[in-house]
Structure 1
């Protein structure tokens, strides 16, 4: 059953919420079933809403949703989270990835953690208050002790900023495409426009992974499958198959790097055999991109982590996929045609992506190495 928090700890949490002027909630895997309770509590104390990567989509539709906190955070989300005077982690470890090695927590911010496992409290960083209890139960109990509403962080200029700059695609960038390759940001934003909103996205690991994680919207917390707990490439396609079987009402999208796609290529046949109308997007930079950008600047030999050019579209067709090679946005017409058709075979998108620079999230991750 649900772990009930003690009244003293809940009272201390409520006192922290009452004292805060700029509260932010960061919800993790342990909060995925508690949207309604967390939104109700946030409405009473004026908190902005964010998630760890594994809970992406939990607050979709709220005008106060900052989306993901951490390496994938938009510049605006990072600015607002680092400006908080109270950060409450709900079923969330507040680890180095979610908090950018602590830089998203202001020096004078009060940090509170709510978790049903006592050993999780303070395991990743120093906290001012730890509350042991089920997230839904604790949020509900705290809301009952906050009868009124406070403006908190929800001032008009913040709402306007979130509306204008709350998504990565709202941020300007210099397009790195051309000469036969497409910028992965341009690719993913275009796919986001094309693909149905009712989707479930599974993301493999690698240099590319931030692009689908941040430029593909999902309808809710059940629309995003993150495979990074094992720190291994090659798990994305099999994860997408499981998600497709679990949610046949949604379009399954597997976002893979070329290294992970080659590692898990045996599952291409599984998708066809099961008759899954899946879109498999391969971000092809002809390398294990993370290793190239991690070790290359230090002069290490890269022959073992660079690949010959691979025709993933041909590999897909050999397995029974419809397939399209994308080197520019005009090539995405093939995706639109597949979406408009019977979708009787899965689709493989072989995207030849720009490869000269590491992704922003990877530069962030390398700070911890």
Structure 2
């Protein structure tokens, strides 16, 4: 999953856009340092693992670092005034560590997601699993065995990244009074992402799409938790927020995260692949339950139309027309708009610093206008 391409700090007139640039630079430096540290250490016992870390580094290049920005927003929402008004561009070391931990977690989940979805390209680039598949093909292995090798390597890479992510998260919270709560929250993000992936998989095995509330729960678990909710929650805890305040900010993140995934579902069927980098038929072909199919399933005949499409009896344009006629796209966009409105209203009600509320509103705007 890729988050919005522009930083809300640049879009919404944040009080200190330079601080975002400092954060991103430091997170990139730390990411490179962590990967290089593991690459060098593994070279002492496994040249193959040393190469794996090199490829992991290549796979993680170019990330938009939105999750670290949300960690910093959570921190700024509750930091004492003396910290919040610190010298221009100053960023807490704990924020950098935790932001980097979320990027490593994201990389881990993407590696595993490529295996689950049997994908060998992401945003037009070969995945890590594709590199190992091609290595196996070059050694004369069959296509089936080569794909298995590629996916196996991606699972291993994802596991290594997950271990590195947890280690950094623990360092970020070390010795703080809230350390145990931050640790539990980070682990919750991992468990929720796993639960969401499992539900997504099991929904795809059913002939009929899941129900709307089931899809919303799955998307909250799979995407909203680790990408929006928990970065804001743990960032607030780093600043010393109490449980009530941190939970309220986390709820805002959850609403934004679900809205993000709803728009992602829309773009996965009605978007422009040249702009989004997403296929407009893979979700439908693979039996994914999205907010679109969940909403349309209540329309008589739609499930049968969907099955004909999956059996190659109709083309994608006919399927898009069938979906459009149910009003599923309008429903999804309106629901995303309602969630974003609720999130921005809640941010104002919390009495957050003005620039924090402004940036959260900026995230909402970017989410709703993706692909436009």
Task: Report which structure shows greater RCO (CA 8 Å, sep ≥6).
Answer: 2
Higher share in helix:
2
Normalised by the length of structure 2, the TM-score is: 0.25
Normalised by the length of structure 1, the TM-score is: 0.25
